[in-house]
Amino acid sequence: MVSVGSHGIYEWLVTDHDIDLLHICPEIVIGKYVAITAIDSGVFIPTQDETTSGWESRGNIAYSPKVAHIESLPREGYDEWYIFADPFDLGTSRLAENVFEVPIEPGHLDVFVNYGSFALGGPEEKALSDLFWQQIEWIRPESYIADGHLLNLVTTNKIVFTKIRDAVRSLG
């Protein structure tokens, strides 16, 4: 299954294919900054070695240094990332709170990857997608990746989007 669409300046893709997005398209993160809002459904806390290499943690969100190679990024499944061209502070994560019970507002980040089969474009997920897009509009990342039960990719980078879309479609 592959679904694609657009929302404002963003193109999005949702797939149930088990793919290694970073190996298909490492340029989505190389030379960029990644904010990890969930890893294995929880908070990513950088190790001492990672902190020494430039990782930071604030408000239950981990921030990478400028990414030089994909192996420096931790991945475990049920991960959620925001990718930026420049360092960006997302505020405080509300990982443990219900997105339907607290207002979407700048400085308070809601985590969407943990909502079962979160999928952009699905009519059964419209209320959740509407809240997601509201949050994306004030954050304005270059790309967003939620790798949970389904893989959700959102990006303004047309080259990255086309490369990933074509790779996923070739899987059938």
Q: What is the pLDDT of residues 6-49, one digit of tens each?
A: 999 999 999 998 889 999 999 999 999 999 999 999 999 999 99
pLDDT band at 95 (very low <50, low <70, confident <90, very high): confident
- Element (H or E) spanning 92, and its range? strand 92-93
Q: What is the pLDDT of residues 42-85, one digit of tens each?
A: 999 999 999 999 999 999 999 999 999 999 999 988 999 999 99
Task: Determine the distance from the C-alpha atom of residue 94 to the mean position of all C-alpha atoms in its chain, rounded to a whole number.
Answer: 15
Whether 124 has a pLDDT exceeding 80, the answer reads no
Mean per-residue pLDDT of the chain? 93
Distance CA 77, CA 79 (A): 5
DSSP 28-80: GTTTSEEEEEEBTTB-----HHHHHTT-EEETTEEE--S-S-GGGS---SSEE
pLDDT band at 136 (very low <50, low <70, confident <90, very high): very high
Write down the pLDDT at residue 125: 80
Distance CA 54, CA 120 (A): 33
Distance CA 91, CA 55 (A): 16
| pTM, two decimal places | 0.94
Task: Determine the distance from the C-alpha atom of residue 76 to the mean position of all C-alpha atoms in its chain, rounded to a whole number.
Answer: 13
Write down the pLDDT at residue 123: 73
Query: Which residues are CB-contacts of 47 (< 8 A; sequence separation ≥ 6)?
Result: none
Look-up of token digits 């960006």: 88
Distance CA 51, CA 48 (A): 5
The mean per-residue pLDDT over the stretch 146-150 comes to: 91
Adjacency order of strands within the sheet including 61-63: 2-7, 10-15, 151-155, 143-147, 79-84, 33-38, 61-63, 56-58
Write down the pLDDT at residue 115: 86
The mean per-residue pLDDT over the stretch 157-169 comes to: 95
Write down the pLDDT at residue 1: 82
